[in-house]
Structures are given as C-alpha cells and as structure tokens.
Amino acid sequence: MSVSTVAADRSVCAPLPVLGRDVTVPLVTGGEVTYAALDYAASAPALQRVWDDVAAYAPYYGSVHRGAGYLSQLSTDLFENARRTVAEFLDCRADDQVVFTRSTTDSLNLLAAALPEGCEVFVFETEHHASLLPWRGARVTYLDAPSSPRQAVETLESALADRDPHGPALVCVTGASNVTGELWPVRELAAAAHAQGARIVLDAAQLAPHHPVSVTDLDVDWVAFSGHKLYAPFGSGVLAGRADWLREAEPYLAGGGASRKVARRTDGGVDVEWHESAARHEAGSPNVIGAYACKALTEAGFDTLVAREQYLIEKVRAGLAEVPQVRILSLFGDDAPRVGVISFVVDGWNSSHFAAALSAEYGIGVRDGLFCAHPLLRTLLGSDPQTQGECGAPEAAPGEKSLNAIRVSFGAGTPDEHVERFVSAVKELVTDGAKWNYRTEDGRCVPDTSA
C-alpha cells in the first residue's frame, strides 16, 4: 500500500483506538485542548483493545503456576498461551525459548548475566543505554557510529575479524534507533556475525511496535523488546531466542518459580535444582497480562500500520523542512528507511525550553534531552554551537558543551490532527517566539507562574 493510497483512504488508515485519546489538558495561556501524545518512543499509550482484554481478565486473576484452584489454573493457561502468542508474533524457531521479563533493559541484563565465560561483546556506540551498558562482566568492544548501513556492516566485519575465533562472542544491535528512527541492517549484521562465529541479539524496543519482527527471517539469536512501547499497559518485557546459554547460566533471579527442587544438606546449607525451561529466569510472580498487544497488532495488520505511519513520517518531515531553523538529526541521511521517531534541534532555542512551550502553550507532549543515548547524541550534536536559551539547559561536564535535542514520536494510535498541530506549533514558535515566560526548576524548563 502506497503512502498516497493511505492518505486517500481514511477508512483504512484510521488510527487504532488508544487510552487517553480524549484527555484534555490546560494551556498556560488559558483554556484546554485535547492532549497530543507524541512521545511514543518512551511509552506508547495502551491500545483500547488491549485494555479491554485486560479488564475482561481481571476478575479471573489468580496466581500463576502450581496453584490448584480454578482461577490459578486459568491464569496459568493464559500466561503460557501468551508465551506461545509472543513466539508466533516473533516467528521464533521451534526450539527457541520465550522468557518474560520487566522490560528490554531487564531482558538484555538477563542475557548479559548468561554470557559464557570469556565472551566478547561488540556493540555500536549508537545504542540506547539499555543495550550499551549491561555487558559489565565481559570484554566489550565499542564500535564507532557508522554513516551508512553499509559502513555499519563493514565496521562490524572488521572488528570481528580481529577477535579470538575460538571464543564465544555476541553482537548487540538495535533494530530502529530511538533517536533518529532509522532502521538498521539487522539481517546483514546477523550474517556478518555468524560468518565469524559470533551470535547476535536484536534490541527491538523501537522496531517491534512499528514493523513485523521475524527471528527466523532476520536470523538473529535473540530478540528483546518491551510491552510498554508495544501499546501494552504495565511493565512487561521479552527475551526470546536460543535456549543453550540461558539454560546453562545461573538463574538471573534466585527464588520461587526458578527452582525445581530445594533440599537441606547435612552441613546446614541447601542444594538447589533449577528449571531448564524459561522458568529458570522467571523467579517470582510474573506479569500475566503484558502480551495482549502482540495479538492486537497482528490482527490490525502490519502492512496497513506501516503504510499509515510512513504517511505521518512524511507529513512531519515535510513540515519541519519548511523551517530553516530546524535541523533533523540523522546518521544515514534523508532517504534512510525509518520508523515514527524524529529528533531535531532548533537554532536559537534550548531544546528543553522549546519542548516546555510545546506542552504548556499547545498541549503537545514530546521529549527533550539525550534520550538515554548519550554517545550517539554527542556524535550528532558535537559540532553544533549550543544556545543556552531562556531556561532548562542541562548541566554539562567540565570541558563539554551543553547538549540536548527534541524528539517527536508517534505510531498506531496517532491521529493526523496531532502531527498537524505539532508542525504548526513548531512554525509558530520559531516565527513568533513563546507567549509565556519560563524558568528552570529542578533542572527542567517550566512555565513561570509567579507573576
């Protein structure tokens, strides 16, 4: 389906109903307006369909696993069915495990804890901190930011060629940048990793809500993502993929559910036999209701969702291109495929000040800062002169300039009016300035209501 087709057929491209779509917020200049939630990359609003399913299940909530009661058995069936739903959503291989976690960050820390001894890790500096920082017990090679998908593959190939070919190695890569929205060449990177005997984990936190993810087709060894970015309420995450490293590792969390058998020893200690299934890393009471969104997105049809999002991306990028003071941040260039995540800076404005004005004067929620991807933002912004602006400039380390940007992000629940209001507000703020005075409070730019 082409973008022009989507634009013409509103019955096909209507946004999916989400919670909060009718919420109104006050404006500092007076009156109220329907809130425009354009911070999907941080947490997407829950789909109404998902919330309805959760509400329907809630009266039947019971403890998962080992309970003899009817509600416990029902909850256990729902939980294990959710595991199968996620495996189908990700097109997992027959022998892959699906482990439920709290988030992408939790999933990657789990995998980091399961690395075999002597494992080398290769990760681009462009990663979100969730995939940049967990590998503290391993020897890590940080790869420079590439300027093109081809260069990303060549950089990885060169780094892997210099490693010990007999030891284990893991490559960690994002599917879509949480800063630029650009898609990474995951399939090609996986092929490069496997050619050198390394494994690869895909951080799909920003990819899975926008595009279908096939573990089989991409040929990745693991994939991690978060429910709260996939239109699901509450804290849930997934690590899915090969079972061997997970099965051989000590449990990520020690406790009930992870243990199969515990017995006292004569010397006063305890012997523990751990599960070999996904339960090995799911100690404690799990989140039963975090997997409904996978089914809802599949039923909605990714082809239609992707086409409509592309239409919104082009609408936003075309609108921002009409403002000379705006620079959109990019690694791979204007023609790179991307999801609905766009970061930019505005000449003469501190980004915190600009984001505060969008919220207070227009009812538009975006994000400002470094987006938990500090090395990438320093690469993208390092040569730019930084304007302190009226307020809200983040503190910089000694010898560093103050850096921050604005990020607008959207998805399946975003109506046209929200992105149209956003583009109009950007143009108005750049042309006319803010209507209100702002001050810094606890490091944030906020409207000054003291007058």
d(CA 179, CA 400): 21
Query: Helix (H, G, I), strand (E, B), or coil: what is residue 59?
Result: helix
Q: Identify any residues that bridge with 223 across adjacent strands, giving them in sequence order.
A: 202, 240
d(CA 62, CA 67): 8
445 is catalytic: no
* Cα 442 from chain centroid (whole Å): 26
d(CA 394, CA 445): 10
d(CA 451, CA 445): 16
Exposure on the CB side of residue 266, measured as CA atoms within 13 A = 0
Tell me the CA distances in angstroms from 223 to 11, 98, 157, 216, 358, one per residue in order.
Answer: 34, 10, 21, 11, 35
Cα three-residue angle 402-404-409, rounded to 5 degrees: 180
CB 110 within 8 A of CB 127: no
Token duo for residue 238: 């997934």
Residue given tokens 């998805």 in the structure block: 411
d(CA 250, CA 270): 16
Candidate list 13, 92, 172, 372, residue with the active-site label: 372
Q: Which residues are catalytic?
A: 372
